[in-house]
């Protein structure tokens, strides 16, 4: 279940301008801090770094990159 929720977070980070707080609420996390901790543990990067990395892509229709899962 957590993996599915985090994949939805990835999609929202890439495809919407929603705030982290709103994404956390939408995906069923208690708050943005909890979401950030879970995302970092699962993907090894922060929410803002992930969003920034994917927003800087020249092709706006490009699929989000999936960071390697942290050990």
Predicted TM-score of the model (pTM):
0.78
Per-residue model confidence (pLDDT) at position 17:
96
Q: Does the structure show a pLDDT above 70 at 61?
A: no
Residues 44 and 64: their CA atoms lie apart, in Å, by 16
What are the pLDDT digits (tens) for 7-51?
Answer: 999 999 999 999 999 999 999 999 999 999 999 999 999 999 999
- Decide: 51 and 15 in contact? Cβ < 8 Å: no
* pLDDT score at 56: 66
CA distance 37 to 27: 14
Domains in the chain, CATH or no CATH each? 2-55 (1.10.10.60)
């Amino acid at each position: 279940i957590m993996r599915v929720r985090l994949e939805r977070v990835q999609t929202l980070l890439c495809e919407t301008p929603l705030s982290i707080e709103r994404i956390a609420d939408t995906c069923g996390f208690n708050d943005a801090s909890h979401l950030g901790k879970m995302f970092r543990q699962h993907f090894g990067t922060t929410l803002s770094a992930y969003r920034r990395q994917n927003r800087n892509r020249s092709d706006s229709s490009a699929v989000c990159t999936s960071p390697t899962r942290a050990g």
